[in-house]
């Protein structure tokens, strides 16, 4: 019984509405006393003033609680910023661990040079993740997230400059500085400060497509912010885990070839300095006609030139005419091959240069121009190819860089055809 009374008394004393209960009880008591004439007017006046004072105290308490709720805002509310808040810069200046995830990181490295060196020399750790500057697709995509119009080459230069700066900083301080590159453009930039500590903070910047000013919104979160702090820290760490160490051990992505109507100035520039040249094709009449003088100069200078053409006496001529040319008969194609052979014979006689010609009975599907196709020595220039499409009025042309995995494939095929062909 006594314990129950104690518990009831304890609940009453700690009840947040105790002041209101006392106010009601006192008002009822003096109302009854006044009604029965037990209490005089003087006593009632004093009691009323006391009740008003108690009511004022209750109002003050309620207003303070309301102000605190308003300042705190709704549960899980996060303040949005239009720029980097001053509190972020103050917190960054005493960081012990720093994580950056973004596109190029140029501004961060420039403004944090002193802080980064301080962190590394004090035994802290720094982690930077940027986009892979060797991936053309990523660089072009990242150029669309800039405040001012910037072409892809400038973005690539910024990323590479940041990587060089970080590498130099790591080498000169000997600190724990990890560098990674991403295979995708992050949608959000992260600046994590001591994210594993009790006083950790993270700045989150949402990137925009072609922003007119600083990309927004910007969030500055602390560990006390609870759910959203944990949410963004977890995302930043997932992106970091998927990054590749820099310098990357993977081969640089090869750009897809672009098809054109004609091989451009790049081919002429390579022909001007070539020491060897392999040419394959069905007739190659147009090539020899348009670059006759260039071929003459090459042979005079000692350039070794090899031509592989379709044998005009083989059934492959009928096959090629039926497959590859919309408005050309087999006889017309045969005459073009014979005309090319006469021009090549004329070149050899006029220059006395190292010109070799062979004929194949294989209906070629792709023609090839390979300046300096040597298995040894420095890397060869780009490989220029022409695809013989089915009965089309023109043939699409494209070029492959030496680093392309398909360049050895086409060169090997051309050499195999040359080996089995018949010398003229």
What is the model's pLDDT at position 116? 95
By mean pLDDT, which of 207-216, 237-246, 357-366, 403-412 is the weakest?
207-216
- Judge if 80-245 and 265-423 fold alike in CATH terms: yes
What is the model's pLDDT at position 377? 46
Cβ atoms within 10 Å, residue 306: 20
Are the C-beta atoms of 399 and 383 separated by less than 8 Å?
Answer: yes
Whether the predicted pLDDT of 378 surpasses 50 = no
Residue 347 CA to residue 353 CA, distance in Å, equals 8
Cβ atoms within 10 Å, residue 178: 16
Edge-to-edge strand order for the sheet containing 125-131?
80-81, 218-222, 201-206, 188-193, 97-101, 125-131, 176-182, 244-245
Q: Name the percent of the chain lying above pLDDT 70.
A: 77
* Residue among 351, 349, 411, 359 at smallest CA distance from 380: 411
Q: Name the percent of the chain lying above pLDDT 90.
A: 51
Q: Which fold has domain 80-245?
A: Endonuclease; Chain A (3.30.870)
Are the C-beta atoms of 321 and 329 separated by less than 8 Å?
Answer: yes
Cis check for the bond before 217: say yes or no (omega within 30 of 0): yes
Stretch 207-236: mean pLDDT: 89
Average pLDDT, the chain: 84
SS3 190: strand
Range with the largest mean pLDDT of 27-31, 77-81, 223-227, 321-325:
223-227
pLDDT digits over 42-60, tens only? 666 666 666 666 666 767 7
Stretch 355-370: mean pLDDT: 94
What is the model's pLDDT at position 104? 92
What is the model's pLDDT at position 151? 78
What is the model's pLDDT at position 375? 46
Confidence label for 15 from pLDDT (cuts 50, 70 and 90): low
The answer to whether the Cα torsion of 132, 133, 138, 142 is positive or negative is positive
pLDDT digits over 276-330, tens only? 999 999 999 999 999 999 999 999 999 999 999 999 999 999 998 888 876 778 8
By mean pLDDT, which of 71-85, 260-274, 402-416 is the weakest?
71-85
* Residue 359 neighbours by CB under 8 Å, 6+ apart: 308, 309, 310, 311, 312, 314, 421, 422, 424
Stretch 390-412: mean pLDDT: 83
* Residue 223 neighbours by CB under 8 Å, 6+ apart: 197, 198, 199, 200, 201, 229
Query: pLDDT higher for 404 or 251?
Result: 404
Query: pLDDT higher for 294 or 15?
Result: 294
Are the C-beta atoms of 274 and 303 separated by less than 8 Å?
Answer: yes
Residue 354 CA to residue 347 CA, distance in Å, equals 10
Confidence label for 374 from pLDDT (cuts 50, 70 and 90): low
What is the model's pLDDT at position 380? 57
Q: What is the DSSP letter of 255?
A: P
What is the model's pLDDT at position 379? 46
What is the model's pLDDT at position 162? 94
What is the model's pLDDT at position 351? 95
Stretch 225-252: mean pLDDT: 88
Q: How far is CA 201 from CA 94, 98, 226, in A?
A: 12, 10, 11
Residue 299 CA to residue 302 CA, distance in Å, equals 5
Confidence label for 69 from pLDDT (cuts 50, 70 and 90): very low
Residue 192 CA to residue 244 CA, distance in Å, equals 19
What is the model's pLDDT at position 268? 86
Q: How far is CA 356 from CA 11, 316, 422, in A?
A: 108, 21, 11
| CATH 3.30.870.10 for the 265-423 domain, yes or no | yes
* Residue 264 neighbours by CB under 8 Å, 6+ apart: none
What is the model's pLDDT at position 136? 84
* Residue 387 neighbours by CB under 8 Å, 6+ apart: 365, 366, 395, 396, 397, 398
pLDDT digits over 18-40, tens only? 666 666 776 676 666 666 666 66
**Which secondary structure element, helix H or strand E, spans residue 130, and what is its range?**
strand 125-131
Whether the predicted pLDDT of 3 surpasses 60 = no
Residue 407 in tokens:
């360049």
Residue 243 CA to residue 117 CA, distance in Å, equals 23
**Which secondary structure element, helix H or strand E, spans residue 257, and what is its range?**
none
C-alpha gyration radius of the chain: 41
Residue 329 in tokens:
């008969």
Burial 125-141 (b: 16+ CB within 10 A, else e): ebbbbbbbbbbbebbeb
pLDDT digits over 86-110, tens only? 999 999 999 999 999 999 999 999 9
Question: Which residue's structure tokens are 């121009």?
Answer: 369
Parse the chain into domains and list their residue ranges.
2-72, 80-245, 265-423
H helices, E strands: number in the chain: 15, 15
Whether the predicted pLDDT of 72 surpasses 60 = no
Confidence label for 82 from pLDDT (cuts 50, 70 and 90): confident
Residue 399 CA to residue 169 CA, distance in Å, equals 40
pLDDT digits over 172-196, tens only? 988 899 999 998 999 999 999 999 9
What is the model's pLDDT at position 120? 94
Confidence label for 16 from pLDDT (cuts 50, 70 and 90): low
Residue 163 CA to residue 129 CA, distance in Å, equals 10
Whether the predicted pLDDT of 73 surpasses 60 = no
């Amino acid at each position: 019984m006594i314990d129950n009374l104690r518990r009831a008394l304890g609940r009453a004393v700690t009840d947040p509405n105790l002041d209101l209960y006392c106010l009601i009880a006192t008002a009822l008591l003096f109302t009854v006393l006044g009604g029965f004439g037990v209490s005089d007017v003087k006593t009632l006046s004093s009691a009323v003033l006391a009740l008003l004072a108690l009511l004022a105290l209750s109002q003050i308490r309620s207003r303070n609680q309301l102000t605190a709720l308003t300042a705190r805002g709704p549960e899980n509310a996060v303040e949005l910023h239009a720029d980097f808040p001053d509190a972020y810069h103050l917190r960054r200046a005493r960081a012990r661990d720093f994580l950056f995830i973004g596109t190029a990181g140029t501004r961060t490295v420039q403004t944090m040079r002193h802080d980064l060196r301080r962190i590394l020399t004090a035994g802290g750790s720094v982690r930077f993740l940027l986009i892979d500057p060797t991936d053309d697709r990523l660089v072009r995509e990242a150029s669309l997230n800039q405040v001012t119009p910037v072409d892809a080459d400038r973005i690539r230069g910024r990323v590479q400059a940041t990587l060089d700066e970080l590498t130099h900083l790591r080498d000169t301080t000997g600190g724990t500085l990890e560098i990674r590159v991403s295979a995708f453009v992050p949608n959000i930039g992260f600046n994590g400060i001591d994210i594993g500590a009790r006083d950790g903070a993270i700045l989150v910047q949402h990137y925009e497509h072609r922003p007119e000013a600083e990309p927004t919104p910007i969030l500055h979160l602390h560990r006390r912010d609870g759910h959203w702090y944990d949410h963004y820290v977890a995302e930043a760490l997932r992106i970091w885990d998927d990054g590749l160490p820099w310098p990357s051990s993977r081969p640089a992505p090869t750009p897809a070839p672009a098809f054109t109507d004609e091989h451009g100035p790049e081919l002429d520039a390579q022909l001007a300095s070539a020491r060897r040249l392999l040419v394959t094709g069905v007739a190659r009449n147009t090539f020899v006609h348009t670059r006759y003088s260039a071929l003459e100069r090459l042979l005079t200078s000692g350039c070794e030139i090899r031509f592989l053409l379709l044998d005009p006496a083989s059934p492959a001529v009928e096959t090629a005419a039926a497959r590859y040319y919309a408005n050309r008969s087999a006889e017309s194609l045969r005459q073009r091959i014979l005309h090319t052979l006469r021009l090549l014979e004329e070149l050899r006689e006029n220059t006395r240069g190292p010109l070799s010609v062979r004929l194949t009975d294989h209906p070629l599907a792709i023609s090839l121009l390979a300046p300096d196709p040597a298995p040894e020595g420095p890397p060869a220039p780009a490989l220029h190819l022409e695809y013989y499409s089915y009965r089309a009025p023109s043939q699409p042309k494209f070029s492959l860089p030496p680093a392309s995995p398909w360049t050895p494939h086409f060169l090997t095929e051309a050499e195999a055809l040359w080996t089995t062909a018949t010398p003229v």
